[in-house]
Amino acid sequence: MNPLLEKFNTKYTSSPFSDIKEEHYLPAFQELIKNSEKEIDEITNNSEAPTFENTIEAMAFSGEQLDRVSNIFFNINSAETNDEIQKIAQEVSPLLTEFSSKISQNEKLFERIKNIYDQKDRLSLNEEQQTLLNETYKGFVRSGALLNEEDKKKLEKINMDLSIKSLQFGQNALASTNAYFKHIINKEELKGIPEAILQQYEEDAKERDLEGYVITLQYPSYLPAMTYAENRELRKELALANGKKSFDGGEFDNQNLIKEIVKLRQEKAELLGYKNYADFVLEERMAQSPTKVFEFLNELLEKATPYAQKEIEELKSLAKADGIEDIQSYDHAFYAEKLRKQKFDIDDEELKPYFQLEKVQEAVFGLAGKLFGLEFKEIDDVQKYPHDVKTYEITENGNYKALLYADYHPRKGKRAGAWMTSYKNQYKKDGENSRPHISVVCNFTKPTKDTPSLLTFQEVTTLFHEFGHALHGVLADTQYPNLSGTSVKWDFVELPSQFLENYCYEPEFLKTFAKHYQTGEILPTEKIEKLSQSKSFMEGYQTLRQLGFGLLDMAYHTEVGALENKSVKEFEVEKTAATNLYPSNPETAASPSFSHIFQGGYSAGYYSYKWAEVLDADAFQYFKENGIFNPEIAAKYKILLSSGGTKNPMELYKNFRGREPKVESLLKRAFG
């Protein structure tokens, strides 16, 4: 029996992780694709005249089990992968791409959709139904429904190649990250690194049956070494290893894949009638055009550069006092931490005991309760994937609202970074409001035998960020699964996550949870004030760094053929020159591990982080002016979150704020 092909007879129909074996996935996908094809055939060949209900709505609810299994499999591939799972992914991705192409190129089905779309002004559809109809029609057109047969076949092949190459890119980046570790016997080489971090390095060494200490390229291991290690040669070696990920000409090198992916995306855009891939992508974004994105990024670049240069000059002065005349990028975190301590008397390691993971989670749960009336209860009767994942039942006024999976610690099969994802979307059908299953995934330091998991302040903001995404999913209240939760315009999706980060800097909120894990003592008031003041510390540098990634992403997807006669490194250096504050190392490059744009969904969309910062700064300013827990404003914001993709995001924002967002709100927060 294959549990993926059965009805999930579990609490809240949750994913039956414990029952799933690797050999279940491929047969399940094959069977469910067949079933979904039958559903589509029934819609296509319906003898009745096409209506919104028997075509558009029927399509929105088709393939539900295939979607569930896809979510399970690809989430596991990110959070708990292994060689076998990755091999299955290589087999499954083309099957799903082929299935998707068959639907989008089904002429008879498109005729039905077009028939309904052409008479949309005469139909009595509500706003959400109109959105679904428009999105369905546009989705088909953008997938090649208006192409001739020859071009449809070309597009199908391009999509297939892209799915395989993007998957390979991610697998290479993960393998390259896991392939490196630095083994150190002599503790003296680790001078400056806090004892709690050294314990973590000892644990990592023991896991490899080694004496001494091991530093990896996983974020909780790598960043503390770069921040605290007085040994400059160690910092240099680690930075070099990190910058060489998938860029060393070895087995996991991604440089050729980048060129192939970019070329395929350009071919796809031209085939569909667009000048370049960015034009194709941005048609469906708030920004709408590459011109607007470049104007936005360059405006911020002009404003932020003087601040960034001033910050680097301060770091250079500190480095000079240590006899370093040629400060490099691998010195940045070390001297930035020194400067932060000097300016604000803040030391991340000194703060960490006040940010025990469990207490930070309680705080973010409490905030969701205060703003939106949600309650969280840990439950043990839901199956999990690895043992350290925790599950929570979320309720509102005593009624079940959502299921939450919290997966907080690194492991070998888990990709780096932090993300929110969904195992099941929310939707309404047959009188039932089917609730979502949401997951928050991070890579925080594991507890040791003596110490619980203690977070840096940056990790505190990371948890709030991902939980902001989670709330977008949890509060979803739409009719259709494909308009639910985070199914919004890509440059709108970061608003809820970045908005929630603002609370981490509010003294009245910080006092409620920043408590020493051993003594229960509240973080001293002066430290809280300093932490709040430090919000804009190194904001110029961070802004230029993000703008560099945004400009690089846009360059890859607007400059046709620009890569053909250049190396990836040459292209990257040229396109980020205006944002680079340190000399470029010829042995390192960011692009070959830039998974956001070559594996994830941020291609021609990385700018959206900064775009959403304007939205979140403007939204939080509204709360600041009226009280950060103001119930009336929270109620309006809850409507924005629960609406998902049912309305134009600017309309949603204006309904909440009473006007369009202002870029001045971000500049004021960042630079005063």
Residue range 97-108, pLDDT digits in tens? 899 989 988 999
Task: Answer yes or no: do 131 and 69 share one domain.
Answer: yes
Query: Domain for residue 599, yes or no?
Result: no
Q: What is the pLDDT of residue 401?
A: 98
Task: Answer yes or no: do 12 and 113 share one domain.
Answer: yes
Tell me the pLDDT band of 417, cut-offs 50, 70 and 90: confident
Closest CA to 131 of 139, 477, 111: 139
Task: Answer yes or no: do 11 and 139 share one domain.
Answer: yes
Q: Annotate 352-380 with b (16+ C-beta within 10 A) or e (fewer).
A: bbbbbbebbbebbbbbbebbbebbbeeee
Instruction: Decide if 149 is catalytic.
Output: no
User: Which of these is catalytic: 156, 459, 466, 539?
Assistant: 466
Task: Answer yes or no: do 140 and 186 share one domain.
Answer: no
Total number of domains constituting the chain? 2
* pLDDT tens-digit series, residues 65-93: 999 999 999 999 999 999 999 999 999 99
Given 206, 228, 243, the domain boundary residue is 243
Task: Answer yes or no: do 102 and 29 share one domain.
Answer: yes
How far is it, in rounded angstroms, from Cα 657 to Cα 635? 12
Query: Domain for residue 393, yes or no?
Result: no
| pLDDT above 80 (res 672) | no
Given 225, 243, 261, the domain boundary residue is 243
Task: Answer yes or no: do 124 and 188 share one domain.
Answer: no
Three-state secondary-structure class, residue 20: coil
Query: Domain for residue 477, yes or no?
Result: no
Q: What is the pLDDT of residue 230?
A: 97
Task: Answer yes or no: do 24 and 130 share one domain.
Answer: yes
Task: Answer yes or no: do 20 and 134 share one domain.
Answer: yes
Average pLDDT in the 129-146 region? 95
Average pLDDT in the 118-140 region? 95
* pLDDT tens-digit series, residues 379-390: 999 999 988 899
Query: Domain for residue 90, yes or no?
Result: yes
Task: Answer yes or no: do 7 and 142 share one domain.
Answer: yes
Query: Domain for residue 109, yes or no?
Result: yes
- State the maximum Cα–Cα separation within the chain, in Å, rounded to a whole number: 82
* pLDDT tens-digit series, residues 604-657: 999 999 999 999 999 999 999 999 999 999 999 999 999 999 999 999 999 999
Tell me the pLDDT band of 369, cut-offs 50, 70 and 90: very high
Task: Answer yes or no: do 16 and 138 share one domain.
Answer: yes
Query: Domain for residue 75, yes or no?
Result: yes
**Cβ-contact 669, 540 below 8 angstroms:** no
Full residue range of the structural domain in which residue 201 is found: 180-243
Rg, C-alpha atoms of the chain: 25
Given 146, 170, 203, the domain boundary residue is 146
How many CA atoms does the CB half-sphere of 311 hold within 13 Å? 24
Task: Answer yes or no: do 21 and 132 share one domain.
Answer: yes
Record the pTM. Answer: 0.85
386: number of Cβ within 10 Å = 14
* pLDDT tens-digit series, residues 518-555: 999 999 999 999 998 888 999 999 999 999 999 999 99
**Could you tell me the two tokens for 196?**
């709690």
Query: Domain for residue 287, yes or no?
Result: no
Tell me the pLDDT band of 562, cut-offs 50, 70 and 90: confident
What is the CATH classification number for the domain harbouring 97?
1.20.1050.40
Query: Domain for residue 294, yes or no?
Result: no
Mean pLDDT of the chain: 95
Task: Answer yes or no: do 34 and 113 share one domain.
Answer: yes
Average pLDDT in the 328-350 region? 92
